[in-house]
Structures are given as C-alpha cells and as structure tokens.
Structure 1
Amino acid sequence: MDATETEKAQTSDYALTQRTAAGEMGAFEELYARHNRRVY
C-alpha cells in the first residue's frame, strides 16, 4: 500500500461527506468508489 492508499484508508466517510458538501468532487468520487456496490 503506497502513501496515497494509506491516506485514503484513513479518511473517514464523515470527513469525505463534509468535503463533498463543500463542493470537492474528488471526495464525492472516493465515497462513490467505496460504496457503489452497496447501492446497486
């Protein structure tokens, strides 16, 4: 696991949700990637 993967693993869904609400598209993409299988 490289540094970027480690950082992503440590970012909570809550933090990503907050960043998404602030308009950060990358945070939304990360949330989607984590949970898209649960939706479909």
Structure 2
Amino acid sequence: IFNEIIAHLGLLELPLKGRSYTWSNMQDSPLLEQLDWFFTSA
C-alpha cells in the first residue's frame, strides 16, 4: 500500500547518502536523526 500511495502521488525519493545525520532540531542540545526516506514532488 505504501508504494502504491507514493506512485499515486507522483513522489520522487531523494537519496540520502554520505551523512551520519540527515535531520536536526537545531536546539542547543540537538536531537540528531538519520531519516530512512525523503520524498519530494516534481
């Protein structure tokens, strides 16, 4: 179902490579996370 929704919405997956962390909450004591997927529309 997940892949069907992605295809239906026309979303494109952006590769996330070469970084230890791909998201931060930008606080003084930051929460750093590595995202599994990142999608965008054309």
Q: Same fold (TM over 0.5)?
A: no
Q: Which protein is richer in helix relative to its size?
A: 1
Q: Which protein is richer in strand relative to its size?
A: 2
Q: Which has the larger radius of gyration?
A: 2
